[in-house]
Amino acid sequence: MARLTKVHANLISNVLKKCSAKVSYNPNWQKIYAELEVGSPDESTRYLLFTAAQRHQLNEMSAAYFGCSLLMTSFKGSRKEVSHYSRDDKLASIKPDEQYLLIKPQPLFTAVASDLALRVPLDQIIKLLESPDNTITHVVVVENLDAFDYWNEFSVTADLRQALVVYRGHDALAKGVKVLLQRLPKTIEVVAFVDVDPDGIKIALTTPKATQILSSDFNSLSLLIKSSSYSKDFDKQHKAVNYMQKHPDHWPSLQQFIIERRVSIKQQHLLAFEVPLIMHNRKS
């Protein structure tokens, strides 16, 4: 059976701190009961009941399981900090991607080769961007890691060569990136560099403060459709299509182009064919 997680630890902690006599016997508590065998399901099996003695036993058994008393511990802090008092560092409230960003070194770290990437503390980046000496006007958030790696090989305008380029994060917007975008000075614009497909547009629509999409012009995209657009991949993105249709007024021309022509062109195609990239302005 899979181990109990932070969700289960928080549920147990709430019972102990509130001295709860019963909880809903939902799947999470069923898993806790199966693992620790503490408490008594009522006759209807709708609730799990705890006497004072059982709560005491729950405290002891959960402490043995997680390596610390859930009655006394909040798990606030990083994994390093939580490791001082718990064997399960993954219970930490601060995850690794919350405090760091993966960025291209230029223009902030000019001594580092431009084809490399740096993992930099979030607070350090924000401090540099808030400095009176800051000259950065754009932050580019890149959807795919390999596109991020090859950023310097894309054909972009001169102003974006001086942009701060950030990797979005695997599968979802990394919390550190989200915090960065929320704390950006108003003078800095956010550019979403995404695949030319429904999922890419959805990413742009849900990226905080994004006012631009970095892509090619429509003539170039039209020429790429025959060789590079994959309609079967478009068909798999029906949820993102529905999301776009509910938010049609942000990049209307680009959204309409993708939907009407069932476009799915990846960032890698834009790179492979050396297509010049431009910024598409958000309309609303």
Global pTM reads 0.77
Examine residue 1 and state whether it is found in any structural domain, yes or no. no
Structure confidence by residue, pLDDT tens digits, 236-281: 999 999 999 999 999 999 999 999 999 999 999 999 999 999 999 9
84/191 same-domain check = no
Same domain, 73 and 104: no
Residue 133 and residue 268 in one domain:
yes
Return the pLDDT at 171: 72
- Single out the residue in 38, 61, 91 at which a domain terminates: 91
Is pLDDT at 97 greater than 80 in this prediction? no
Count of domains for the chain: 2
pLDDT per position as a tens digit, 32-78: 999 999 999 999 999 999 999 999 999 999 988 888 788 766 677 67
- Residues 144 and 270 placed together within one structural domain of the fold: yes
Each residue of 155-195: pLDDT tens digit? 999 999 999 999 999 876 788 999 999 999 999 999 999 99
User: Of 91, 121, 144, at which residue does a domain stop?
Assistant: 91
Residues 49 and 69 in one domain: yes
* SS3 sequence of the chain: CCCCCHHHHHHHHHHHHHCCCEEECCHHHHHHHHHHCCCEECCCCCEEECCHHHHHHHHHHHHHHHCCCCCCCCCCCCHHHHCCCCCCHHHCCCCHHHCEEEECCCCCCCCCCCCCCEEEEHHHHHHHHHCCCCCCCEEEEECCHHHHHCHHHCECCHHHHHCEEEECCCCCCCHHHHHHHHHCCCCCEEEEECCECHHHHHHHHHCCCEEEEEECCHHHHHHHHHHHCCHHHHHHCHHHHHHHHHCCCCCHHHHHHHHHCCCCECHHHHHHCCCECEEEECCC
Q: Which domain range does residue 115 map to?
A: 96-281
